[in-house]
Amino acid sequence: MSQEVLDLVVEKVHGFLGEEVLAFEEPEPPAEEPEEEEKPARRKKPEPKVEKPADLNFGRPMIILDSKKWTLELAKMFRDDEELQFDFLSCVTGVDYEEHMEVIYNFYSTTKDHYLYVKVKTPRDNPSVVSVEPLWKAADYMERETYDLFGIDFPGHWNLRRILLQDDWEGHPLRKDYITDKKALGLD
């Protein structure tokens, strides 16, 4: 079920953009490792996760897009396409990876009963992701919150102001390089 939805989404996105942004070339499988004695598992380093632009994530379809490719029209396609109909925006959030930032949209379709994660990558300097607030009003507060805590700009949002922190707060606390002023907070 989820794999079908993923294939469908990939097909639609490629059809819309006219280029295969979600295609993924399998890296060459590493040469057969020499047979070694089994090491205790905990000493083994976790393998770096190879990110595929379109994949299943715990059974849920997930696609990764660049913020340049993410436009309001594409989002509108997600919402209005007959076969997709992602009408419910469940959650908007941001993650600060040290090298880039991501905005994650969790869509759900109340009519088709399927899910989609859309991860939009954006550079760390001047992060900016097109707002979907005109399409899903649910994004109103959640994008404001993401802006507030991460400093990601959402062009197209009608009222992008701080929401949880006070208006004159400096910095964006959930960024990894945010330095907590412990003195000011009385923690030190």
Partner 1 sequence: MSIKTEEMVLNMGPQHPSTHGVFRLKLHVNGETITKAEPVMGYLHRGSEKLAENFIYTQFIPYTDRLDYLNAMTNNYIYCAGVEKLLDWEIPERAEYLRVITMELNRIASHLVWWGTYLLDIGALSPFLYAFRDRDICLDRLNEISGARMTFNYMRIGGVKWDAPDGWIEKVKESVKELRENIAEYDRLVTGNEIFRARTIGVGKLTKDQVINWGLSGPIARGSGVNVDLRKTEPYSIYDRFDFDVPTREEGDVFARYKVRIAEMHESLKIIEQACEQIPSEGDIIHKKGARIMMIKPPAGEAYTRAEASKGEIGVYVVSNAKTKPYRVKLRRPSFVNVSILQDMLVGENIQNLVAIFGSLDVVLGEVDA
Binding mask 165-184 for partner 1 (x = CB under 8 A): xx------xx----------
- Member of 49, 179, 186, 188 binding partner 1 (CB under 8 A): 49
Rounded-to-integer distance, Cα 119 and Cα 158, Å: 22
Binding mask 106-135 for partner 1 (x = CB under 8 A): x---x--x---x------------------
In order of 26, 78, 93, 163, 183, the CA distances from 179 in angstroms are: 39, 38, 21, 20, 11
Calculate Rg over the CA atoms of the chain.
Answer: 20
- Member of 70, 101, 118, 145 binding partner 1 (CB under 8 A): 145
In whole angstroms, how close is the CB of 50 to partner 1 at the nearest point? 11
143 part of the interface to partner 1, by CB under 8 A: no
For the CA atoms of 31, 34, 35, 38, the dihedral, rounded to the nearest 10 degrees, stands at -90
